[in-house]
Amino acid sequence: MPNNKGSSKNTLSQKAKHETWEWIKAIVIAILIVIPVKLFVLDTMIVPTGSMIPTIMPGDRLFVDQVSWHYNDLKLGDIIVFWTPFIDKSSLAMLGPFDQFMNDLSPDHVNGHVEYVKRLIGVGGDTIKLVPAPGHPYFYNVEVNGKIPNALKDRLYSKVGIFQNKDYYDELAHPQNYIGSPDYQFLLYYNQDMDYTAYYDSVYKKWGNYVTEDASGNITVHVPKGYFFAMGDNTTDSFDSRYWGFVPMGNMIGTPFLRIWPLNRFGVMK
């Protein structure tokens, strides 16, 4: 009787090798498809903080359309995703392995930066100020070019950062010059946590008076051409343009349109 054990083992070994090779090819093909899509068409991000509560919760994973905003004008009040104009060390540390890997593939000019999700408040040429919100003594509505945008009429904001102190961006960039500031420890912490000084020194000084203050102490922010201003919905717990200023339009990624996780919150973004 012929002994087929050896040939059976060889057949099984060849089958295992074939299946392994097929899996490797499938993974490589998936990566070759996913990476270009991720970089140029459809981004995915996980939100690590509560700056957009209740609209977006910590741990939500979003799909972001990177294409449409190039052809359809963004509207004030739109939720947007963008690269920070500075390196944010603490946010980088929050990224999971997949998001860290994709972050490493980002364009050179934002390498080491992270994705933020906020609401668009103003674009180049706009003037922004906070006005008292009727019935809400401690909160404010945002006024853009002399009126409250329809999409922002129900949004309330805290008067902090640049709206409270016209020198705030300079203080954040150079806290050593403002040791007497009541925010000194906050300024020092965030200055060390992000590469803000280099960004500030490279662009802010060329703009001149991007912030003005009237005789009553009301502050107006003037958004420079080619930049935008963004704030979070969770106004008392959002690190946004009130604190660190303007973002280059070249850092815009797109608009989130679908929440894919957690499953009990799966659905189209509004």
For 194-222, write each residue's pLDDT tens digit.
Answer: 889 999 999 998 888 899 999 999 999 99
Residue 66: partners with Cβ closer than 8 Å, 6 or more residues away? 40, 41, 42, 43, 253, 254
Rounded to an integer, the average pLDDT of 31-60 is: 79
Active site residue 118: yes
**pLDDT for residue 5:** 46
Alpha carbon distance, N-terminus to C-terminus of the chain: 73
* 51-78 residue pLDDT tens: 999 999 999 999 999 988 876 789 999 9
**pLDDT for residue 113:** 84
* 102-160 residue pLDDT tens: 667 677 677 778 899 999 999 999 999 999 999 999 999 999 999 999 999 999 999 99
Amino acid in the structure at residue 18: H
pLDDT exceeds 60 at position 6: no
**pLDDT for residue 137:** 92
Task: From the candidates 15, 25, 118, 147, give the one annotated as an active-site residue.
Answer: 118
* pLDDT band at 11; cut points 50, 70, 90: low
**pLDDT for residue 46:** 87
Give the residue, 30 or 198, on which the prediction is more confident.
198
Give the residue, 25 or 268, on which the prediction is more confident.
268
What is the percent of the chain where pLDDT is above 70? Answer: 83
Active site residue 17: no
**pLDDT for residue 252:** 95
Q: How far apart are CA 89 and CA 250, in angstroms?
A: 21
Residue 110: partners with Cβ closer than 8 Å, 6 or more residues away? 83, 84, 251
Vertex 74, ends 169 and 241: CA angle to 5°? 15
Asked if residue 54 has a cis previous peptide bond (ω within 30° of 0), the answer is yes
**pLDDT for residue 26:** 56
Q: From the options 3.40.50.300, 2.10.109.10, 1.10.620.20, 3.30.365.10, give the CATH code of 41-268.
A: 2.10.109.10
Task: From the candidates 5, 9, 51, 89, give the one annotated as an active-site residue.
Answer: 51
Q: How far apart are CA 49 and CA 212, in angstroms?
A: 31
CA distance to 52, 156, 238, per residue, from 137 (Å): 22, 11, 20
Of 99-103, 165-169, 182-186, the range with the lowest mean pLDDT is 99-103
Q: How far apart are CA 12 and CA 16, in angstroms?
A: 6
Rounded to an integer, the average pLDDT of 152-177 is: 96
Q: How far apart are CA 188 and CA 24, in angstroms?
A: 48
* pLDDT band at 41; cut points 50, 70, 90: low
Tokens of 119: 């609401």
Question: 65: closest CA among 253, 262, 263, 223?
Answer: 253
**pLDDT for residue 253:** 93
